[in-house]
Amino acid sequence: MIEIRPQEGIVGEIKVPGDKSISHRAALLGSLSREGIEVENFSPGEDCTSTLSCLRTMGCEVNRDAVSGKVSVKAPDGLKEPSDVLDAGNSGTTARLLLGLISGIPNIFAVITGDESLKRRPMGRVAKPLVAMGAKIDGREFGEKLPLAVRGRKLTGGVHTLQVASAQVKTAILFAGLRAQGATTVIEPILTRDHTEIMLEHLGIPIFRKGLEVTVYPASTLKGASWTIPGDFSAAAFWIVAAAITGESELHIKKVNVNPTRTGLLRVLQRMGLDYSIEDETLSGGERMATIAVKSSSLKGTKVMPEEIPSMIDELPVLAVAATQAEGTTEIRGAGELRVKESDRIHAMTEGLKRMGAQIEELKDGWIIRGKTKLSGTRLKSFGDHRIAMALAVAGLVAEDRVILEGESCVHISYPSFFEDLKALTTKSQPKERVSS
């Protein structure tokens, strides 16, 4: 457990870890390249480590420099049938994207599993469209839950209309489509993060995008490439909110991914009154990268609509924290997907913020939060969920007394240095050394 103390402000500069979504995709596409893909600033989190481990098990050459964050992945002789189970750990992205990748490689058999949390998460939304393409997938609850067994086959392209707005499902189908016969089209109900499309275009893969439709064409092999992965906006989100709600903040978050399909939080916070600017924008690997400068802000409540949710799904827990410090009522709807993440994030944030004295009402698909509320110091639990732990740590910065957070080590899933960075940025000695129970 760790102690979080109230703070006067968040001051300075920071670089957050490399984007987790992009890191997964770069590594997995590297496994389809004989020349290899090499990236700087690969995510240091355990989720992406799980992806690299699975690729090694399938015969990929994987090199990783922990100091520089440089990672290279290639498969000179193609992917091989693994001799052991592929363990995705806590990573839903690893499990779902591997299903798409393996499904289109004939004669490869693999079993994909994960930790207890991942075994509870839905996989049928990925398995069903892949089976429709000709894949052979089976597992618990008729292919709905891990462990799943997949045997690669020759697949057939086609048109897939998604019922759930999910970049992971879209990507799994597109990965399978790279080895399918004919074009593969995915139609989304709402535009989701488009890192896969950008990366495929950057690698020269035939792909066509129009509105909510994306079509990929077969590619026998991928060319090699190298680039720098931008900082993870989902990691930056915690610092954006922390700077906004603390009283004397001025923070520059350097080289962050500002892809519009990821920055829904900024658009919502902007209409709530966020004082920020985007500076020094450039491109890296086809992705937009910039510095986000944030100052203390007077926020007002707002209404977040279902169509906004896909561009900020991972940032909703920390948006709930911001809402407790905004004048008026904030209503967040259409976020039922939070119920099937690493934890039930709707319930976890409700419980945590209520313990701190927030006026928060739990809805089936979101929250109603009334502010501005003085939060109290108390003892909180992370629910083993990295985003819950970091969001509640941000809430602790504006509490009237210290917060004791249990289970904080789960931040290693995506942001291992979070608490070290927090200590470096805050104006008082914070966070305190871990305390005994």
Q: What is the pLDDT along the chain (437 residues), one digit of tens a residue?
A: 999 999 999 999 999 999 999 999 999 999 999 899 999 999 999 999 999 999 999 999 999 998 888 999 999 999 999 999 999 999 999 999 999 999 999 989 999 999 999 999 999 999 999 999 999 999 999 889 999 999 999 999 999 999 989 999 999 999 999 999 999 999 999 999 999 999 999 999 999 999 999 999 999 788 899 999 999 999 999 999 999 999 989 999 999 999 999 999 999 999 999 999 999 999 999 999 999 999 999 999 999 999 999 999 999 999 999 999 999 999 999 999 999 999 999 999 999 999 999 999 999 999 999 989 999 999 999 999 999 999 999 999 999 999 999 999 999 999 999 999 999 998 543 444 455 43
Taking the C-alpha atoms of residue 320 and residue 395, their distance in angstroms, rounded to an integer, is 9
Structure tokens at 247: 């009283």
Q: What is the dihedral of CA 247, 271, 421, 261, to 10 degrees?
A: 180
The pair of structure tokens assigned to 430 is 């914070």
Comparing C-alpha atoms, which of 269, 82, 276, 93 is closest to residue 171? 93
Whole-angstrom distance, CA of residue 44 vs CA of residue 67 = 10
Name 82's Cβ contacts closer than 8 Å, sequence gap at least 6: 54, 57, 58, 59, 110
To the query of whether residue 344 is one of the catalytic residues in this protein, the response is no
Q: List 289's β-bridge partners, or say none.
A: 257, 282
> What's phi and psi for 257, nearest 5 deg?
-65, 120
Residue of 47, 232, 314, 421 marked active site: 314
Q: What is the DSSP letter of 222?
A: B
> Distance between CA atoms of 314 and 299, rounded to whole angstroms?
21
Q: 């909510």: which residue's tokens?
A: 212
Enter the DSSP assignment of 305: -
Please tell me the distance from the alpha carbon of residue 309 to that of residue 294, in angstroms, as a whole number: 22
| Contact status, residue 264 vs residue 237, Cβ threshold 8 Å | no
Predicted TM-score (pTM) of this structure:
0.95
Residue 144 burial by Cβ neighbours in a 10 Å radius (0-12, 13-18, 19+): middle
Q: Exposed, middle or buried by CB within 10 Å (0-12, 13-18, 19+), for 427?
A: middle
